[in-house]
Amino acid sequence: MASKFLCFTLLFINICTADGYELYSSTRCLFNSTELKDIEFIRSYYYNRMELIRFDSDVGKYVGYTEFGVKNAEMWNNDPGQLAAMRAQKETYCQYNIGIWYANVLSKSVKPSVRLHSTMAPGCHHPAMLVCSVYDFYPKWIKVSWVRNGQEITSDITSTEEFANGDWLYQVHSHLEYMPRSGEKISCVVEHASLEKPLIINWVPPMPETERLIIVGAVGLILGLILFLAGVIYRRKSGDTSLACRFSEKQAEDWSKDAAALSLWRPQKEMFFKPGSELCFTNVLPKSGLMLVPSS
């Protein structure tokens, strides 16, 4: 009978696809664990999106949903071999593949990253809104809640559904309408399978603009003072040499403009460095410590 079913399917497709019709089947495994008792095997047969026949392992036989499906379900249910093969799929197909999924995917988890920030709430009487954004976690199921001064907040909260990033990871965003009050403590609490204990992110209100400007100005003043002191110290260490150089250059410039000084110093070359003159050597080195090499 199984071979007749295969032939019937192929014949039906060959006849109907020429006019754009389609016959197809869908196999599903519904499960809560890897235990056989927690698994349900379902195979459905469709014609143009209309379900004709279904085998459900919890029912144990075929069920037809149209006149044509009822007739075929009755025929297949009268075949013990066909029923035995389908009933075995729960163990041979579902339980085997579910074990692979649990070992490689379902038992894995990725810890979420959380960002808590404030934003303006357009069209709302509240001045701002707190947003707790949870990114890149797996599996999908997660709980995000709010706590004020140790008490869970149940009102003024809106949350998005968990939606996929496209890389097996998920994200979710929770919004809390926020009216600042002095001394209160607000926290975002995230509970997920990847966390040993709930992750608590405390909201730290931003500093007022005036205080922020004061701190920025004070930091700038301190930094400027440090740079000024460093410059003074550097000038002290290298200032003497620089001043001496500038003094020598200024003195040389003044002397160069003094005609009397120039007339006094220009003859010194001839008098002081005249060949054979002992004046050069007596003013530089002792005669006994100098050996002359005669010129050729």
SS3 for 222-260 is HHHHHHHHHHHHHHHHHHHHHHHHHHHHHHHHHHHCCHH
Given this model, what pLDDT does residue 191 score? 96
Q: Report all structural domains of the chain as residue ranges with CATH numbers, in order of start.
A: 2-106 (3.10.320.10), 113-202 (2.60.40.10)
Per-residue pLDDT tens digits for 34-79: 899 999 999 999 998 899 999 999 999 999 999 999 999 999 999 9
Average pLDDT of the residues in 112-136? 81
At residue 233, the pLDDT reads 79
Both structure tokens of 147: 């706590």
Reply yes or no on whether the pLDDT at 123 is more than 60: no
| Per-residue pLDDT band at 133 (split at 50, 70, 90) | very high
Q: Give the Å distances, CA to CA, from 106 to 118, 204, 296.
A: 34, 36, 102
Give residue-wise pLDDT tens across range 209-228: 566 677 777 788 888 888 87
Give me the residue label for tokens 């050996």: 291
Residue 206 has pLDDT above 50, yes or no: yes
How many percent of the chain have pLDDT more than 70? 71
Span 87-94, mean pLDDT? Answer: 94
Rounded average pLDDT over 270-282: 54
In this prediction, residue 131 carries a pLDDT of 94
Q: What is the mean pLDDT of residues 269-273?
A: 61
Contacts of 132 (CB under 8 A, 6+ apart): 114, 115, 116, 144, 146, 173, 174, 175, 176, 188, 190, 201
Asked if 106 contacts 193 with a C-beta cutoff of 8 angstroms, the reply is no
- Mean pLDDT of the chain, nearest integer: 78
